[in-house]
Amino acid sequence: MAKHSKYQDQQVNHIVSDIIAVLEKHQAPVDLSLIVLGNTVSNLLIGSVGKNQRVALAQAFSDALLNSVKDSK
């Protein structure tokens, strides 16, 4: 999703692969997968980000997601 990151591609790709493997293990269809991922993002924001920063970070995440979907053809 992000074009520039402080994390190595290998680390990101490994975690993404693990998450996809779990979704496949549960044979989660796309809509259920999106619900699970959305709930995960919400839980991370609520549990790890200060109340004053949540909306701004959620907006930045949303913008990055939209841009990544628009850019992929």
Q: What are the tens digits of pLDDT across the range 18-56?
A: 999 999 999 999 999 999 999 999 999 999 999 999 999
| pLDDT confidence of residue 72 | 72
**Contacting residues for 4 by C-beta, under 8 A, at least 6 apart:** none
> Tokens 């790890």 label which residue?
48
Residue 22, CA distances (Å) to 7, 28, 49, 64, 65 in order: 22, 9, 25, 24, 21
3-state helix, strand, coil in the chain (%, to 5): 75, 0, 25
d(CA 37, CA 45): 12
